[in-house]
Structure 1
Amino acid sequence: MTQWDINQLFRTYHARLRHFVQKRKLAWYTADDIVQDTFLRVVATPSLPDVKYAQSYLYRTAQNLVVDHFRRERILKFVPDAEKSLEYVASDSPLPDQIVWSRQELRRLQSAINKLPASTREVFVLARLEGKTYAEIGEKLGIPPQTAFSRMVRALTLLRDQTKIDEKN
């Protein structure tokens, strides 16, 4: 992996890159942002080409960022108020009915887990909630890993059957 002296590259190419970007009819502050992002990309890139390609790499990265900027600008033209554009993006938050449904499902699942025989429930909790392997469960409970696996199969079968019964009611 090639390492570049980013400080030396910045001193050498900052002004030239800024001029290059500003020639694309961008405001000085936008050009500054793009040049800064160009150097940030270089710092964040895990594998860089040989340093002899640094100049072309920097210019290509800056050009790509300019293109990305104009694409975003073109998209924002379709939004009546660009300042409020994020209000038009759908929220990732669940809707109230989804929250209620999820809570009901969690209560049903908790009830079904509570109805499992103690030894089966213990294996289920260790495997599914604590992320333990069957070997770790066997070691912790003093049982063979195959027995832990069998109890897990039993737990899943009982939970499936219980949820089917709950769905009918």
Structure 2
Amino acid sequence: MSSPASPIVDALACYRELHRFLTGKLGSRSDAEDITQSSYEQMLQALQTQRQLQVESPRALLYRIAHNLCIDHYRRQKTARNWAELASHASPATRFAPAAEYLAAQRQIIERVVTQLMQLPTARRNVFILFRAYGMSRTEIAAHLGIKESTVAKHVVRATLDCARVFAMLHANLPEHIEPGECSAGIRE
């Protein structure tokens, strides 16, 4: 039986190969270096926390981890681009500070959603936050929390429905005439 260090030693042999592959895939040596490093860190962490884990192909495991990290990297880049694009297309009117009534309504929404999240069962809340706030996939959450993917899906659906009820109640109570670009007197700035 091989020691836990053996798969790492085997994987270290393909460090340059993985780095070259990621550089070609990402088009950035810096990003490739970061993901290569993170891949080894995650592999080592998996081997240390799951000592019974038998790794038949350390190279395949390493490439799978790197592939998943690339997907996360692309998601973050896409989100950043989308935010930048939204900011660049914002009209001057929407760049001004919103009306006090609008801010109060938004604070109320946030407070109610936070209250609703805090009332959720701990497991459901954790799954929902990992899914919505951190952008983790259902598979990643299941592996991270050690639960079934179907359980993750159920938690996400139930938490979404719980939050949707809060939004529906709030939407019914919000004033219709207040928009983000309006001042408190209702005149566009």
Same fold (TM over 0.5): no
TM tier, smaller? 0.3 to 0.5
Q: State TM-score, norm by structure 1.
A: 0.42
Flag the structure with more relative contact order, 1 or 2, with Cα contacts below 8 A and sequence separation at least 6: 2
Pair member with larger Rg: 1
